[in-house]
């Protein structure tokens, strides 16, 4: 075929256009998958933020049971010594509430710390994944641009060879 044949040049242009369309589709699919990953990360983070709720509820129930038990024991002990109607009962109940409250707060703070650490780990994982996906997308995009550029230049290179009197392609051994 003649290299100046518009049909041949049109085929090369069509190849370039098809490749660009495929590359756009690949990037679109990649972006969709990246969006799904972002949703998955958000779901994990939301679940992690509620991890401690059940534990903290249990701590509150246990603290209430412990306080009730401690107050009963204190009341019984003071009554057995004839001090059941004294101000010592109120003082002991108040002391029990402080002690149990501090212990419960410490336990709930430990739960909060564990949840915070888990959220930080998830956040770091998310940032790492987003950075990796960004790099991968850039690589895909650059590869597509290179492909489109090379396919787009092919007809021009062939025409240049003809104009320069070099229709022979040494790489393929074909005479154009």
Binning pLDDT at 50, 70 and 90, where does residue 20 land?
Answer: confident
Partnered with residue 169 across adjacent β-strands are 174
Q: For the segment 104-157, what is each residue's pLDDT rounded down to a tens digit?
A: 999 999 999 999 998 899 989 999 999 999 999 999 999 998 988 888 788 777
Nearest to residue 8, comparing CAs of 168, 176, 155? 155
Q: Which two tokens stand for residue 29?
A: 């699919």
Q: Which residues of 152-173 are buried (b: 16+ CB within 10 A; e: fewer)?
A: beebeebeeeeeeeeeeeeeee
Region for residue 56 given its phi and psi (left: phi exceeds 0; alpha: psi -120 to 50; beta: otherwise) = alpha
């Amino acid at each position: 075929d003649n290299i100046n044949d518009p049909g041949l040049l049109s085929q090369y242009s069509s190849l370039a256009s098809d490749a660009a369309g495929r590359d756009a589709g690949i990037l679109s699919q990649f972006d969709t998958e990246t969006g799904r990953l972002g949703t998955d990360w958000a779901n994990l983070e939301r679940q992690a933020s509620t991890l401690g709720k059940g534990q903290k509820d249990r701590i509150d129930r246990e603290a209430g049971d412990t306080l009730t038990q401690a107050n009963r024991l204190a009341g019984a002990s003071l009554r057995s010594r004839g001090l059941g109607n004294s101000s010592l009962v109120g003082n002991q109940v108040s002391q029990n509430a402080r002690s149990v409250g501090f212990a419960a707060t410490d336990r709930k703070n430990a739960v909060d710390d564990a949840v915070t650490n888990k959220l930080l780990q998830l956040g770091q994982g998310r940032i790492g994944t987003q950075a990796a996906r960004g790099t991968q997308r850039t690589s895909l995009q650059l590869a597509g641009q290179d492909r489109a550029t090379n396919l787009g230049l092919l007809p021009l290179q062939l025409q240049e060879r003809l104009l320069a009197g070099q229709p022979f392609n040494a790489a393929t051994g074909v005479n154009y």
